[in-house]
Homo-oligomer: A and B are copies of this chain.
């Protein structure tokens, strides 16, 4: 066997770091519908977002430029862990007995353990450049809050994080990690904001949701001059920052001499998925590749597969602009599954638009299937995946087993967007047989859908 046929890791030199983010919008057959002002129902202009975001990010949010240069100070931080490795999952392939080739782009090598620093770093940088002193944000499982804590430490910004209460209880080490980087962390809903107090009055035992935590963080940013808000997913600029994942993966697959037939990724707000697939979507739209591109979402929070494509709020309290997206309704509170990062009622408007254009497909998976996949992955590949990417791993395994049936030697690509070293309680519960797949009632969705804003 030659050395090459054993290779499992495709690495790039620091000099091969992408220098530009890729904006997929100009390459799409049509642009996504604009966000609307909740009062006037008119498209919001950049100035309406100024209380929440620095102007540089607002301009990226509405940009139609195909490429945006990554500032040197951001590249200097990316260098701490990027380029990230692309792995060929040879041991998992062998365990499955599949003729398929499985590749995964591993983002867990970042200091925060996930893909989230790819956008946390530029967000902190642009805010610091514009003289902002403090950021607020929400976090679900804690990956995003950790990443922004790390980024704020490097750029000298204060940070306050509202962490979804169900995750706050499940993942005490997450809080410790954010504090190690210097952030302040509150369980959400909290009594510190009007939005939090309103939820607590109605539901004192609320396990929280990303929608509620966003309301709290947005409220504090909007009411303090030196403070801005930072979002870890959903928005165009966030997904664009993540495209370094896909750009690197393209170079690394070329090293390996392969082209993907199927790309799968997990979706919560869509940032990991968008970051992986947009550069491949460019190649597909240009006719240079033709991969099937498949989003995998949790059965407990199936915005693509059971949500409606409609204008809705990004948060529970209705403080954000209206976004046209696949949504389960901004009042929807998903079951407290362990993949806290996927518990969002909506989906990136950009990905929603691309889904409507028929350029990607979507499936939903129950968490027990995902943990089984995660455990199998840990015991073959050695890396314990976070609960979120176990959804992607489960879909990889499904596709690879399909190839075993048909004999197809497909090339499957996914992103392992983070490790699960701060989610081990979830694995313990899975191994002890204490993971439930709660049935999502159509009535619960219908009830939340009834709260969708009318007339848009």
Contact = CB atoms under 8 A, between A and B. Distances in A.
A154 B91 contact: yes
Contacts of A6: 72, 75-76, 79
B111 A383 contact: yes
Contacts of A182: 379
A363 interface: no
A374 to B, nearest CB: 9
A349 to B, nearest CB: 31
Contacts of A181: 378-379
B3 A111 contact: no
The 6 closest A-B pairs by CB, nearest first: A111-B382, A176-B424, A176-B428, A173-B424, A153-B379, A180-B427
A50 interface: no
Interface in A105-127: 109, 111-113
A44 interface: no
A30 interface: no
A452 interface: no
A-side interface size class: 35 or more
Contacts of A177: 384, 421, 424
Interface of A: 3, 6-9, 11, 13-15, 72, 75-77, 79-81, 87, 91, 109, 111-113, 150, 153-154, 173, 176-177, 179-182, 375, 378-384, 421-422, 424-425, 427-428, 431
A80 B111 contact: no
State the main secondary structure of chain A at its contact with B: helix
A85 to B, nearest CB: 9
A173 B171 CA distance: 10
A384 B14 contact: no
Contact of A14 (B11, B76, B375): B11
16 contacts: A3-B15, A6-B72, A6-B76, A11-B11, A80-B381, A91-B154, A111-B381, A111-B382, A111-B384, A112-B382, A153-B380, A154-B382, A173-B421, A179-B431, A180-B427, A182-B379
Contacts of A13: 11
Given A154-B382, A182-B379, A80 B176 contact: no
A75 B6 CA distance: 9
Nearest to A8: B79
Contacts of A8: 14, 76, 79-80
B421 A150 contact: no
B425 A176 contact: yes
Contacts of A80: 8-9, 87, 381-383
Contacts of A176: 424-425, 427-428
B79 A7 contact: yes
Nearest to A11: B11
Contacts of A153: 378-380, 382
A375 B177 CA distance: 11
A220 B306 CA distance: 55
A375 B180 contact: yes
Nearest to A83: B11
A421 B173 CA distance: 8
A334 B382 CA distance: 33
Given A8-B14, A13-B11, A154-B91, A384 B180 contact: yes
B180 A424 contact: yes
Nearest to A87: B80
A190 B425 CA distance: 24
A79 B154 CA distance: 31
A452 B124 CA distance: 58
Contacts of A81: 9, 382
